[in-house]
Structure 1
């Protein structure tokens, strides 16, 4: 397993446990997310939020596709709903997904960010502001650099950042941009990411 030495938490006190996980992907992401969810298994103790860049014409398909790969409940996020543990929430095409400190999800059709909507940067930045050191952000395969500013925000608030190893990712742009920020704690092959997420959320920190 390849891992970066965890960065200091910039003065934040360590929380008892993590409260939420957000994952971003683009090109190659359906396969990447399928592998992640399949290896993650059942009974996740936190909500999992996903931003996957999609053609709006295929908006109703992704939740069904991913639901076949995981025992976790998988659905398109709805504006104003409460994020629940063990549920996978996917940003609908053409909508940014954000979360607040109470776990309430917001969908926005505001302007594209770096030419994309939904934006991983916006999701991660909302995660950082709402959850600070209790947040986990993960960047999988994808072209472009969406998510890089967001992981920097998560790390600056004391959160933990995971990236798929760009050397083995189907598309290396997004994970490579994340790694280049210096904010990534773990750089891992796709097949090893779920075990690390499980280990983090199930281990109470002192």
Structure 2
């Protein structure tokens, strides 16, 4: 099944957990300022602590980086980071919805929720990239991405600080490319370039 997307540009979702700061920095670092795609970042965060993730990533990439806001719009060439204690949904044509996570898991923010909604709104223009992390978050979400015509990349075991999340993704048999961390940025550029 290939979903019809209201978006005219690709959306890249980078999802990570333990070890994610370094991985996200290395993926975002080589991306050009004129990347013809919107980028969403979902890193599992402790909801009880103030996060510096957005500020740190902003210093490590040429792309503008901001915290996602409820009702905000996805735009190409910009990175939106899911805030701590919120789940992010892609709700309609290039719009963001944020939900309070509550006191209990699932993982926060949930990669599965983000990817499932990205899949049905972006169709073939969705690219999910599963980076280092413990657990299996994203495993269900990537099934939705592929079901709706999108693409999935995963970090390889050799460069993952924790292989739970990428390993679970790879175990579905749906990952298009398993890549060392240093190659993921270029693979994203090459992939999104097909839509411009």
Give the structure-2-normalised TM-score.
0.92
Counterpart-to-counterpart distance in 1, 2:23 and 2:95:
26
2:94 matches 1:131 = no
1:117 CA displacement: 1.8
1:181 CA displacement: 0.8
Residue 97 of structure 1: which of 63, 88, 94 is its match? 88
Describe the SS at the equivalent of 2:158: coil
Counterpart-to-counterpart distance in 2, 1:120 and 1:112:
17
User: What is the aligned partner in structure 2 of residue 35 from structure 1?
Assistant: 26
1:111 CA displacement: 5.2
1:83 CA displacement: 1.1
Check the 8 A contact 2:2/2:148 in 1, yes or no.
no
Q: In the TM superposition, what whole-angstrom CA distance separates every residue of 1:103-126 from its partner, at most 9, and x where no partner exists?
A: 100100145785312100000000
Name segments (4+ residues, structure 1) moved above 4 Å. Answer: 10-13, 110-114
Describe the SS at the equivalent of 1:100: strand
User: What is the aligned partner in structure 1 of residue 156 from structure 2?
Assistant: 165
Structure 1 runs not aligned, ≥5 long? 1-9
2:62 matches 1:71 = yes
Structure 2 runs not aligned, ≥5 long? none
Q: In the TM superposition, what whole-angstrom CA distance separates every residue of 1:73-92 from its partner, at most 9, and x where no partner exists?
A: 11110000111111110110
Describe the SS at the equivalent of 1:143: coil
Check the 8 A contact 2:3/2:120 in 1, yes or no.
no
Distance change (3 Å), C-alpha of 1:114 and 1:155: farther
Count of paired positions: 196
Check the 8 A contact 2:54/2:67 in 1, yes or no.
yes
Give the structure-1-normalised TM-score.
0.88
Describe the SS at the equivalent of 2:94: coil
User: What is the aligned partner in structure 2 of residue 80 from structure 1?
Assistant: 71
Q: In the TM superposition, what whole-angstrom CA distance separates every residue of 1:13-70 from its partner, at most 9, and x where no partner exists?
A: 9xxx752111100000000000011122321111100110012244341111011100
Describe the SS at the equivalent of 1:182: coil
Residue 47 of structure 2: which of 47, 56, 66 is its match? 56
